[in-house]
Amino acid sequence: MKITKLLLAIAIAAVAMAHAASAQTAIYISGAPATRAIWNQAILDTLTSVSTGSPTIVKYWTGGTTTTGYSSANEIVLAGGNISGTAVTIYGAWTGSTGGNQDVAQNPPESNTNLRVGFISPAQITAVGSGGGGGITYSSSANPQYPQFNLSDTFQNTTPFHGATTVTTPATNYVTLTEPTPKNPAITGFQFITNKGAPSDLTNITTNLARLFFTQGYASLAQFSGNSGDEGTTVYALGRDIASGARYILLAETGIGTANSSLLNQYLATGTSGGSITGYTLSSSGTINEIGFTTGNGGYSSFTPELTILGDTSSAGPLVTYVTDTDAQTAIGAGARVLTWNGVAYNYGTNEGPNGTAPVSIAEGQYTYWSYLHVLYNSTFIQANYPLSYSFANSLDSKLSTDTATGAILTSDVNVGRSSDGSLVSF
């Protein structure tokens, strides 16, 4: 009898847990994997600060590395929080800021089922248990949803998704997204980086060389080093796929042009098992978010596979790719080495500003390879249909502007600014 009652109690508790998970208001967010470590921390900090009377917030995730877990995850869930007294569960799926802009800006909203995003399923969370948390298995088809706002490392106008666009098949209209405040809360820096064991004179890349390098897909090492003895060594260009904001920041900063994404040629490293790159092949063709691209015009979907490659030596020639400042630090730990941009170093460890988050080279306008971070939404639609998501998006934007724990550069620490991605930096 006691065993029967115990089993019944367990069954009731399980049903209650499932009901509680389903009863909570879900907030779905898409965004940029290049800056996901920043956003993952900012989302957690924001939910903690706006929750009222909530139990401990439990983190679930999929992706990331074994050492960083939640901070570098590709999918996240935060369960157990409250916003204005309403229980919420935060879901994040990092599709890339370009893809995220497309998802959120479609017009009419939530009209194209092909632009729904796969999120971690509530059933997967329930199976783990309320006190479990941690990494879980993820199926992209388990919980397809339309994201309610996007976290981006580009302005919307940097991407193809504003107004009427024909780059997709079928052609689609996109609304102009808005932000909680006109002042962008934070900045992320980008760096060019080469793999472990690359020649010691591969140290700098210029604007002119970057245009050649990423459209041709390769260049002679001599063009990087100025050493005639390097003419016979080829350096290969690696980079991100068409859903990535980092790709569009590269196009803007180098002057290739954001309308010229199709001109990029990028390679994938091969034979990387055992810590050694033995060859390169042009990235494959395909379709992402209804945009077709040709052989060579693809790239890596996130930093995770690039990290392994950057920590490898190469018998087939060195590589150069582009990563965020946070990811660059991780890659440096694996043996990679950063390049100067037009002869200017990023200046790690020489920060300034009232919060001390800005490298002096960025704060004073010498180093220009950076972009603002944005919280973007369809204002009229989200206010009318997802008021808690709207409230959380505004709180997130506000929190990011002061949160020194995310690793972002706070705008308040930078003395210069720019009006668009890749535009002139000035006081």
DSSP 15-84: HHHHHHHHHSEEEEEEE-GGGHHHHHHHHHHHHHHH--S--PPEEEEESS-TTTGGGG-SEEEEEEEEET
pLDDT score, position 339: 98
> How confident is the model over 361-415, as pLDDT tens digits?
999 999 999 999 999 999 999 999 999 999 999 999 999 999 999 999 999 999 9
Phi/psi at 405 (5° precision): -85, -10
pLDDT score, position 290: 82
Last residue of a domain, one of 363, 381, 398: 363
Domain that holds residue 309: 188-363
pLDDT score, position 16: 37
> Does residue 305 lie in a domain region?
yes
The token pair at 415 is 């003395």
Tell me if 284 sits within 8 A of 267, measured CB to CB. no
> Does residue 308 lie in a domain region?
yes
pLDDT score, position 172: 77
> Does residue 420 lie in a domain region?
no
Task: Write the CATH number for 332.
Answer: 3.40.190.10
Residues 222 and 253 in one domain: yes
Residues 403 and 285 in one domain: no
The token pair at 143 is 């919980």
Residues 193 and 176 in one domain: no
Residues 80 and 121 in one domain: yes
> Does residue 424 lie in a domain region?
no
Count of C-beta atoms within a 10 Å radius of residue 85: 9
Helix (H) or strand (E) holding 373: strand 370-376
pLDDT score, position 423: 98
Q: Give the residue from 386, 275, 253 showing the smallest Cα distance to 334.
A: 275
Regions of the chain short of the pLDDT cut 70:
1-23, 64-68, 126-132, 165-166, 171, 272-273
